[in-house]
Structure 1
Amino acid sequence: MRRTSARFKLGSAVAVVTAAATIGGVTAWNGAAAEPEAAETLAVGTPEGYGQNTTGGAGGEVVQVSDAGAFAEAAESDGPLQIEVSGTISLSDMTDVTSDKTIIGVGSDAEITGSGLNVSEADNVIIQNLTFSNSNDDGINVQYSTNVWIDHCDFTGASDGSLDIKRASDDITVSWNHVYDSDKNMLLGHDDDNSGEDVGNLKVSYHHNWFDATNQRNPRVRFGNPVHVYNNYYNDIGSYGVASTMDAGVLVEGNYFENVDDPYHLGEGDSGPGDLVARDNELVNSSEGETGGSVSNPSYSYDLDPAADVKSIVTGGAGVGQI
Structure 2
Amino acid sequence: MKKSLLSLRGLLTAAIAIITFGANAQTWDFTTLGTTDKNNLNADKVNWTYDSDKERWGNGLVLSNQTLIANGQELDFTKGLHVSATKADQVRIDPKTGCFTLNASEATITIPSLKAGDNITVLAKCSSSSVARYVLASNVTASAGFSEESAATSKTNVTHKGTVTADGDVTLSTNGGMYFYKIEVTGEGEGPVGPTPSDPDHAVAMNPMANQMMLTIADNSVKYYNTAELESVDLDKTTGKVTVTPKAADWTDEYLRNVSTISFTKGIPTGSEGEIINRGVNITEAKGWLESAYVKWTPFEGATSYNVYVKGGKYADYTRIDRELVRDYGTYGRADMVGLPANVYALKVVPVIDGTEDTASASEATDMSVKAHDRSGFAFLRNAVTAPYDGSGIGAYKENGELKDNATVIYVTAETAKTVTCKVFYDKAYREFTGLQAIMDALQKGTAKEPICVRIVGTIKDTDMDSFSSSAEGLQIKGKNAYAPVNVTVEGIGDDATTWGFGFLIRNCSSVEMRNFANMCCMDDALSFDTQNAHCWVHHMDFFYGSVGGDKDQAKGDGTVDIKGNTRYITVAYNHFWDNGKTSLCGMKSESTEDYADYHHNWFDHSDSRHPRVRTITTHVWNNYYDGVAKYGVGATMGSSIFVESNFYRHTKDPMMISKQGTDGKGDGTFSGEDGGMIKSFGNLYAEKGASSNYTVITHTASADDFDCYEASSRDEQVPASYVTKFGNTSYSNFDTNPSLMHTYTAQPAAEVPATVMGFYGAGRLNKGDFQWTFDNATEDTNYDVISALKTALVNYSSKLVKIF
TM range (shorter): 0.7 to 0.9
What's the CA shift for 1:136? 1.3
The answer to whether 1:320 aligns with 2:320 is no
Map of 2:578 onto structure 1: 180
Q: Give the counterpart of 2:637 among 245, 260, 273.
A: 245
Q: Deviations over 1:174-211 (max 9, x none)?
A: 10000012111100012x3x2xxx11333011000000
Q: Give the counterpart of 2:487 among 86, 94, 100.
A: 100
The answer to whether 1:45 aligns with 2:392 is no
What's the CA shift for 1:166? 0.3
After TM superposition, the structure 1 stretch with the greater mean CA deviation from structure 2, 281-290 or 68-77, is 68-77
The answer to whether 1:200 aligns with 2:593 is yes
Q: What is the alpha-carbon root mean square deviation over aligned residues?
A: 2.4
Aligned AA for 1:81?
I
Contact kept, 8 Å, 1:169 with 1:201, in 2: the verdict is: no
Map of 2:726 onto structure 1: none
Secondary structure, counterpart of 2:766 in structure 1: coil
Partners of 2:322 and 2:765 lie apart in 1 by 28
Contact kept, 8 Å, 2:593 with 2:640, in 1: the verdict is: no
What's the CA shift for 1:71? 3.2
Q: Give the counterpart of 1:145 among 522, 528, 533.
A: 533
TM-score (norm 1): 0.82
Q: Give the counterpart of 1:157 among 539, 542, 545.
A: 545
Provide runs of 4+ in structure 1 moved above 6 Å: 5-9
Secondary structure, counterpart of 2:753 in structure 1: helix
Map of 2:64 onto structure 1: none
Map of 1:40 onto structure 2: none
Map of 1:219 onto structure 2: 612
Contact kept, 8 Å, 1:65 with 1:86, in 2: the verdict is: yes
> CA 1:44/1:322 → structure 2, altered by over 3 Å: closer, same or farther?
farther
Aligned AA for 1:133?
M
Contact kept, 8 Å, 1:188 with 1:222, in 2: the verdict is: yes
Q: Which structure's relative contact order is higher, taking Cα pairs within 8 Å and 6+ residues apart?
A: 1
Q: How does 1:4-19 map to 2 (within 5 A)?
A: 4=315
Secondary structure, counterpart of 2:649 in structure 1: strand
Partners of 1:120 and 1:307 lie apart in 2 by 35
Partners of 1:170 and 1:6 lie apart in 2 by 40
Contact kept, 8 Å, 1:66 with 1:86, in 2: the verdict is: yes
> CA 1:145/1:154 → structure 2, altered by over 3 Å: closer, same or farther?
same
Q: How does 1:292-307 map to 2 (within 5 A)?
A: 292=710, 293=723, 294=732, 295-297=734-736, 299-307=742-750
After TM superposition, the structure 1 stretch with the greater mean CA deviation from structure 2, 165-174 or 296-305, is 296-305
Structure 1 spans left out of the alignment, 5+ residues: 10-15, 17-42
What's the CA shift for 1:6? 7.6
What's the CA shift for 1:103? 0.9
Aligned AA for 2:413?
S
Q: How does 1:118-137 map to 2 (within 5 A)?
A: 118-137=505-524
Q: Sequence identity, in percent?
A: 28
Structure 2 spans left out of the alignment, 5+ residues: 1-311, 324-337, 339-370, 381-390, 398-403, 419-434, 464-470, 479-485, 547-556, 660-670, 690-694, 698-707, 711-722, 724-731, 769-805
Partners of 1:201 and 1:214 lie apart in 2 by 29
What's the CA shift for 1:2? 6.1
> CA 1:251/1:222 → structure 2, altered by over 3 Å: closer, same or farther?
same
Partners of 2:488 and 2:585 lie apart in 1 by 23
Contact kept, 8 Å, 2:638 with 2:675, in 1: the verdict is: yes
Map of 1:26 onto structure 2: none
> CA 1:165/1:261 → structure 2, altered by over 3 Å: closer, same or farther?
same
Secondary structure, counterpart of 1:51 in structure 2: helix
Q: Give the counterpart of 2:459 among 79, 83, 88.
A: 88
Partners of 1:72 and 1:279 lie apart in 2 by 44
Contact kept, 8 Å, 1:152 with 1:322, in 2: the verdict is: no
After TM superposition, the structure 1 stretch with the greater mean CA deviation from structure 2, 43-52 or 265-274, is 43-52
> CA 1:132/1:184 → structure 2, altered by over 3 Å: closer, same or farther?
same
Partners of 1:44 and 1:64 lie apart in 2 by 23
TM-score (norm 2): 0.34
Q: Deviations over 1:230-253 (max 9, x none)?
A: 000001111100001100000000
What's the CA shift for 1:44? 6.1
Secondary structure, counterpart of 2:617 in structure 1: coil
What's the CA shift for 1:3? 4.1
Partners of 1:187 and 1:322 lie apart in 2 by 28
- How many residue pairs were aligned? 286
What's the CA shift for 1:8? 7.6
Partners of 2:436 and 2:646 lie apart in 1 by 38
Partners of 1:139 and 1:310 lie apart in 2 by 25
Contact kept, 8 Å, 1:114 with 1:134, in 2: the verdict is: yes
Q: Deviations over 1:81-130 (max 9, x none)?
A: 01110011112651112421011100011001111011111110111001
Partners of 1:95 and 1:202 lie apart in 2 by 25
> CA 1:150/1:276 → structure 2, altered by over 3 Å: closer, same or farther?
same
